[in-house]
Structure 1
Amino acid sequence: MLSLSELLVILLTCLISIKYLKVLWATRSLPPGPIPFPFIGNLWTLSFKLHPVILTKLAKSYGNIYTIWLGETPLVVLNGCKSVRDGIVAHSDALSGRPVASLLKDLLGGKGIFMANGRTWKQQRRFGLMTLKNLGLGKSSLESQIQKEARCMVDLFTTKKGEPFDPSYILEHSVANIISALVYGHRFPFDDITFKDLLKSYHYIVENIGSSWARLYDAFPWLMRHIPGPHQGSFRHMNHLNEYSKKQIEIHKEKRSSEEPQDVIDYYLDQIEKSRDYTDSTFDEENLLAVITDLFGAGTETTTISLQWGLLYMVAFPDIQQTVQKELESVLNGSQVCYEDRKHLPYTNAVIHEILRYANIAAVGIPRTCIKDLRVRNYSLQKDTMVLANLDSVLYDPQCWKDPNRFNPQNFLDIDGNFLMNEAFMPFSGGSRVCLGEQLARFELFIFFSTLMQSFSFHLPEGVNEVNTKAIYKMTLQPNPYKIRGVPR
């Protein structure tokens, strides 16, 4: 006669075996990949992270389209320019969904733009695009605002008097003030405590989203929601961000008038009023909070990190820095940098594009889901299948770049020195989920970077002879903390 404990062991073993057999059976209809372990899938193989180096190694073994398992959930990975473009570009609409269960999804509540699906995503994204345009994106009004912040940035760098300093906070402050003015209608003073607290919350969330805890959450959301750990801190920090935004919304409600809306919150509150009688409207204050988080977070993080990498690369490659400065001198002759100047500054423009390619801020990108059955190259993917376009494999694809593992602005220049775009340049992803703030980021990067190159020569601190260009993997690929000297020109 079996004891109760023995019976429970047998039942548990049978349950695990049945679930594992179901996973193995499911692999028959998916692209090849490493054999998943019971319960954890391939999380051990991945070191519990979606790191670009690991994903690229797996592609060498299983091909440019393969499957990995996050627990009991399959994730189809697209590698290389051809596979990625055949997926997220050629099947843009079919691959426009977001995973329904993940840490990011729960943090944003499935609201807003970044992690929303269906009608919510379409309405909120359309609103975001139209509102940024209404607020001056692509026009001289917003460009002058970026130029003003660039001058403030130069003033802050000048206060360092050529001594070694960490430029990260100054860069972040300047970039964040652009999106803050667009979203909240105001900028933050340099030493503002509230601003620093907001950034602290954003940093915590970004770091946690790229951690092993987040991968466990994505694999077992039903379990991780109830287990203590650093991932729970992300929800506390998200609440802190939302509390600030709620206060700003109330301030905007009190100040609303018949005048033209001045920022994203104004436009959104107007949209809520206009949509009250429409039963299919998704415009409400919960979605407004998520849109604010989407715009402020995405509008600050990646552009700031790109500028951090840009300054670091200029120190690492002083000959490239000098060539940029010579071109700026000969073309602009000290005048203020405008975005239109990029057409006459091919080398500088090429350097900025190479910074985005080589640094690969977005790492592997964010998973999508199939909203209907589709076929990508030789594989059929069913509706609701998760798909990850490995952006790193596109930006480093040896079939598309002259020397992908070396920082080389010639990747974006023809034999006559004219700027040349490459279809494998996808740092902002592609298809219908392409980064909403791509145009704003391009304006900011060109004006901020060119203005800094025009104003300073950047060097290592005295006694430091090596530049550390290795990346730290969080949700994004970031440089190790560093100090440089900015010598006024």
Structure 2
Amino acid sequence: MGKRSIEERIKEEAEYVIELLRKTNGSPIDPKHHLHYSVCNVMCSVMFGKRFDYQDEEYQNLIHCLLDSFRIMSNPWGLMYNIYPGFMKYIPGPHKQLMKNYTFITDLIRKRVENNIKSLDSDNPRDYIDCFLIKMEKEQKKSATYYHHNTLVMSIMMLLIGSTETVSNTLGYLFLLLMKHPNVAEKVNKEIDDVIGHRPPNYEDRHKMPYTEAFIHEVQRFADVVPMSLPHELTKDTQIRNYTFRKASDRQVLERRQVNALTGKRSCPGMSLALMEIFLFVTTMLQNFTIKSLVSPEDISIDPVGVGLAHIPPNYEFCLLPRSQE
């Protein structure tokens, strides 16, 4: 998607947020703001071809809608809305804000799509939108194509929602657990120093950093940022090749029919991107800063503040002390 790799885009965002964090001069900060803005910007760079400035009002509103939707879906109102959408649409409550957030996000995406259509060069795709539009052109004569404007908008929205909160929450837990277990932080720092040194981290470095890799995977297991996963159910009868799947068929039905060759593996489509983001953000952060907790490790709570669609880590602050560059 364009001439820049996804790894380049992640590195660009990581360096940008590092420079912002330097300006804190070791003062206590809540990292959530920086994590949400930087993680979302990586996906925006991939989807829209360029990153947002953190002060951009439209970007701030986008972040607010994404986080607010996750917050609502992680409380009892959101759980009820997820289980009984037909009933809950008649009940007043904070879940009503979900549709307002949805409208803002889709309007923003549609505007970006329209801008890309006006300046599309099929020989030089700039981003995900361009690649999708080029595919639409090639498929327009097919009667059974899946490439439509609405599909494009919805896929971008799902990628933005699915990537922003999950990756930022994982990073939030990761830094929290580094403060909770300083002996682990010391080992991760040593591996970064031994393998990477002072040059910028690369994703390939992970192959030589088994302890850091193991720590990241353990954080993912512990954090379990989307414990309920997402509901999976067919909303209408669907024909795939010579197979018919009836409305309301769930995962178990599909697995019993053994049609993985048609439906593919049930895994997160953004998994590789998420792992790359987590590794590069963590190694870049720890290469530049020592994380100093404001309280002793035994006083640090690791209990989530939201449990529902997502496990949201508790609020906390830390100080970032620049590491010596000798």
Tell me the TM-score normalized by structure 1: 0.58
Residue 311 of structure 1: CA displacement? 0.8
Structure 2 equivalent of residue 460 of structure 1? 293
Secondary structure, counterpart of 2:5 in structure 1: helix
Structure 1 residues 167 and 255, CA, compared in 2 at 3 Å: closer, same or farther? Answer: same
If asked which structure has higher relative contact order (CA below 8 Å, sep 6+), I would say: 2
Provide the C-alpha distance between the structure 2 equivalents of 1:242 and 1:337, rounded to a whole number of angstroms: 35
**Are 2:189 and 1:325 aligned?**
yes
Residue 446 of structure 1: CA displacement? 0.8
Secondary structure, counterpart of 1:471 in structure 2: coil
Secondary structure, counterpart of 1:487 in structure 2: strand
1:225 pairs with 89, 104, 108, which one?
Answer: 89
Structure 1: which 5+ residue stretches go unaligned?
1-133, 372-381, 389-430
1:478 pairs with 305, 309, 312, which one?
Answer: 312
Instruction: Give me the identity figure in percent.
Output: 27
2:38 pairs with 148, 163, 174, which one?
Answer: 174
Residue 369 of structure 1: CA displacement? 4.3
Provide the C-alpha distance between the structure 1 equivalents of 2:44 and 2:133, rounded to a whole number of angstroms: 17
- Aligned pair count reads 301
2:275 pairs with 442, 448, 460, which one?
Answer: 442
Structure 2: which 5+ residue stretches go unaligned?
236-245, 253-263
Residue 254 of structure 1: CA displacement? 1.6
Provide the C-alpha distance between the structure 2 equivalents of 1:159 and 1:474, rounded to a whole number of angstroms: 36
**Are 2:74 and 1:240 aligned?**
no
Provide the C-alpha distance between the structure 1 equivalents of 2:76 and 2:249, rounded to a whole number of angstroms: 22
Structure 1 residues 217 and 175, CA, compared in 2 at 3 Å: closer, same or farther? Answer: closer
Structure 1 residues 277 and 224, CA, compared in 2 at 3 Å: closer, same or farther? Answer: same
Structure 1 residues 202 and 350, CA, compared in 2 at 3 Å: closer, same or farther? Answer: same
- Residues 233-272 of structure 1: matches in 2 within 5 Å? 233-272=97-136
Q: Conserved in 1, the CA contact under 8 Å of 2:166 and 2:226? A: yes
**Are 2:148 and 1:292 aligned?**
no
Provide the C-alpha distance between the structure 2 equivalents of 1:165 and 1:219, rounded to a whole number of angstroms: 37
Letter in 1 for 2:31: P
Secondary structure, counterpart of 2:28 in structure 1: coil
- Residues 273-284 of structure 1: matches in 2 within 5 Å? 273-284=137-148
Q: Conserved in 1, the CA contact under 8 Å of 2:69 and 2:98? A: yes
Letter in 1 for 2:178: M
Structure 1 residues 386 and 275, CA, compared in 2 at 3 Å: closer, same or farther? Answer: closer
Residue 363 of structure 1: CA displacement? 1.4
Secondary structure, counterpart of 1:195 in structure 2: helix
Q: Deviations over 1:317-369 (max 9, x none)?
A: 11111111112112222222111111111111111111111111111312334
Structure 1 equivalent of residue 255 of structure 2? none
Provide the C-alpha distance between the structure 2 equivalents of 1:469 and 1:245, rounded to a whole number of angstroms: 36
Letter in 2 for 1:332: I
Provide the C-alpha distance between the structure 1 equivalents of 2:286 and 2:118, rounded to a whole number of angstroms: 43
Q: Deviations over 1:284-333 (max 9, x none)?
A: 21111101101111122111111111111111111111111112112222
Provide the C-alpha distance between the structure 1 equivalents of 2:223 and 2:67, rounded to a whole number of angstroms: 19
User: What is the Cα-based RMSD across aligned positions, in Å?
Assistant: 2.4
Secondary structure, counterpart of 1:432 in structure 2: coil
Letter in 1 for 2:65: S
Provide the C-alpha distance between the structure 1 equivalents of 2:218 and 2:17, rounded to a whole number of angstroms: 23
Q: Deviations over 1:149-188 (max 9, x none)?
A: 2111211111111110011111122211111011011101
Q: Conserved in 2, the CA contact under 8 Å of 1:206 and 1:474? A: no
Residue 145 of structure 1: CA displacement? 2.2
Tell me which structure has the larger Cα radius of gyration: 1
Provide the C-alpha distance between the structure 1 equivalents of 2:144 and 2:222, rounded to a whole number of angstroms: 43
Q: Conserved in 1, the CA contact under 8 Å of 2:2 and 2:124? A: no
Provide the C-alpha distance between the structure 2 equivalents of 1:258 and 1:327, rounded to a whole number of angstroms: 44
Provide the C-alpha distance between the structure 2 equivalents of 1:199 and 1:370, rounded to a whole number of angstroms: 30
Q: Deviations over 1:32-84 (max 9, x none)?
A: xxxxxxxxxxxxxxxxxxxxxxxxxxxxxxxxxxxxxxxxxxxxxxxxxxxxx
Judge which range, 222-231 or 200-209, deviates more. 222-231
**Are 2:16 and 1:149 aligned?**
no
Structure 1 equivalent of residue 28 of structure 2? 164
Q: Conserved in 2, the CA contact under 8 Å of 1:272 and 1:283? A: yes
Secondary structure, counterpart of 1:433 in structure 2: coil
**Are 2:171 and 1:307 aligned?**
yes
